[in-house]
Amino acid sequence: EAAEKAGYEHFMLKEIHEQPTSIQNTFAGKLSELEGTVTLDELYLERDEIKRLKRVTIIACGTSWNAGILGKYLFEKLAGLHTDVETASEFRYSNPVLCGEELTIAITQSGETADTLAAVRSSSSYGCRSIAITNVVGSTITRESDSVLYTRSGPEIGVAATKTFTAQLVALYMLAIHLGRIRGVVSANEAKDLIVGMKRLPGQIQKILNKKEMIKECAAQFADKRDCFFIGRYLNYPVALEGALKLKEISYIHAEGYAAGELKHGPLALITDETPVVAIATRGHTYEKILSNIKEVKARNATVIAVADDDDTEIDKYVDIVLRVPSSHELLAPVLSSVVLQLLSYYTALAKDCSIDKPRNLAKSVTVE
Ligand code: G6P
């Protein structure tokens, strides 16, 4: 096992470090910077079919569901497609109103999650076409879906998903650009900017990894805390959800991810100097709004840790600690912020001496209901 960990103390840390490569492998050979196009021949979707699409239904569980929320924002913005994100265990027992013209996208790292498989079967029974985003070649979902878009992350051993999550995000960017270009929603120039930005992600992640000691120091803020909140808006909302899920999975700290605008509808009552708040505050059109939310929690004495762009000096005025990410295209920043939050969870769990690769009560793949 020590050999498989390649010198890292845990599989999770090794897998966090593999992200520059796993992202690169996921988009390799598919991006044309010159044309502003993404080639996804494996989808077998005709151009006319793509143009006729009315709706997308994303089905997933756990971390993959969090990726799905980002997918929703991307499909709506880049491809003009109304998108619902469904929790597989709910969807399979609900009464979905589907007419067969919707595209179902199942996101599942393992390709074996029982609820996700059942939910996809249910959507197929309405005649919906399905695409699976999965990391495991030959997994059950690849047989249950009409087509497959692989994340090429290599095997993930740590129970807490890391490299497969960021690769899922990359798969969703590619799919959204592909659909959006054919549907004439995203322009060639916008797509080119995104593609250039995607190609920069591996190098930018490496920069974050090179400065991980700062994140390790910051983790000391959490080790003795019982509760904490992660807040974000728009594309940073799923980042907050995933940051909280990671922390609770491996450090056993009660963590909640919240859409920052919802703070005033409940969570504010819980904010004290004992509840650290992690605010994902990379630049974008909701930046001013998250600053207001940061002020709200600061006024209640919370320690605030912000994830922000490396050239953002404004943020220092409002928060206690800033964890920096290289500045990127607004739509792509979630990949970088997620890496920071993975390291934050990892070092918090390490400080608490938790069983990082095999957290109590959790399984890597949930093949029973
Ligand atoms: C389990 C794992 C999670 C994962 C979820 C969905 O709960 O511990 O890390 O996100 O299943 O798994 P899937 O393989 O469908 O993405």
What confidence tens digit (pLDDT) does each residue in 184-206 have? Answer: 999 999 999 999 999 999 999 99
**Of 63, 105, 116, 137, which is best to mutate to test ligand 1, by the most ligand atoms within 8 angstroms of its C-beta?**
63
Nearest CA to ligand 1 atom 2: 364
Residue-level pLDDT at 32: 96
Q: For the chain, what is the radius of gyration of the CA atoms?
A: 20
CA–CA dist 12, 358 (Å, integer):
10
List pLDDT tens digits, range 89-105.
999 999 888 888 899 99
Phi (first) and psi of residue 44, to 5 degrees: 50, 40
Residues in a beta bridge with 56: 83, 103
Side-chain half-sphere exposure of 79, counting CA atoms within 13 A: 26
CA of 136 to the centre of ligand 1 (A): 13
Q: What does the block give as tokens for 347?
A: 């070092």
- Tell me which of 110, 137, 361 to substitute to probe ligand 1's pocket, judged by most ligand atoms within 8 Å of the beta carbon: 110
- Predicted pLDDT at 165: 98
**Rounded distance between C-alpha atoms, residue 312 and residue 369, angstroms:** 46
Whether 364 is catalytic is yes
Q: Which residues contact 367 (CB under 8 A, 6 or more apart)?
A: 112, 113, 114
Mean pLDDT of 46-52: 94
161 within ligand 1 shell (Cβ under 6 A): yes
What Cα–Cα distance (Å) separates residue 211 from each residue in 205, 207, 222, 272?
10, 7, 19, 30
List of residues 6+ apart from 186 with CB closer than 8 A: 78, 79, 176, 177, 180, 194
Amino acid letter for position 229: F
Percent helix, strand and coil across the chain, each to the nearest 5: 45, 15, 35
Let me know if 125 is exposed, middle or buried by CB neighbors in 10 A (0-12, 13-18, 19+): exposed
pLDDT confidence of 3, banded at 50, 70, 90? Answer: confident
Distance separating alpha carbons of residues 13 and 145, to the nearest angstrom: 32
Q: How much distance in Å is there from the Cα of 364 to the middle of ligand 1? A: 6
ipTM above 0.85, yes or no: yes
Query: Could you give the angle at the alpha carbon of 174 between the alpha carbons of 105 and 323, nearest 5°?
Result: 105
Q: Minimal CA–CA distance to 284: which of 112, 131, 77, 127?
A: 77
* CB-based contact 102:56 (threshold 8 Å): yes
120 vs 86: CA distance, rounded Å: 11
How many A from CA of 61 to the centre of ligand 1?
6
| Confidence (pLDDT) at 101 | 83
Q: At 24, is the pLDDT very low, low, confident or very high (cuts 50, 70, 90)?
A: very high
* Res. 43: pLDDT tops 90: yes
358 lines ligand 1 (CB under 6 A): no
User: How far does residue 159's CA lie from ligand 1's centre (Å)?
Assistant: 8
Taking the CA of residue 113 as reference, the ligand 1 atom at the shortest distance is 15
Q: How far apart are CA 113 and CA 343, in angstroms?
A: 26
The pLDDT of residue 140: 98
pLDDT at residue 109 tops 80: yes
Is the CB of 362 within 6 Å of ligand 1? yes
Return the closest-CA partner of residue 33 out of 185, 169, 179, 197: 197
Secondary structure element (H or E) that encloses residue 346, with its range: helix 333-351
Least Cα distance to 337 among 273, 268, 290, 303 occurs for: 290
Residue nearest to atom 8 of ligand 1 (CA): 364
152 token code pair = 């090429």
Evaluate: CB of 108 within 6 angstroms of ligand 1.
yes
pLDDT-derived band at 1 (thresholds 50, 70, 90) equals: confident
Ligand 1 and 64: CB distance under 6 A? yes
Q: Of how many residues is the chain composed? A: 369
Using the mean position of ligand 1's atoms as its centre, give its distance from the Cα of residue 64 in Å: 7
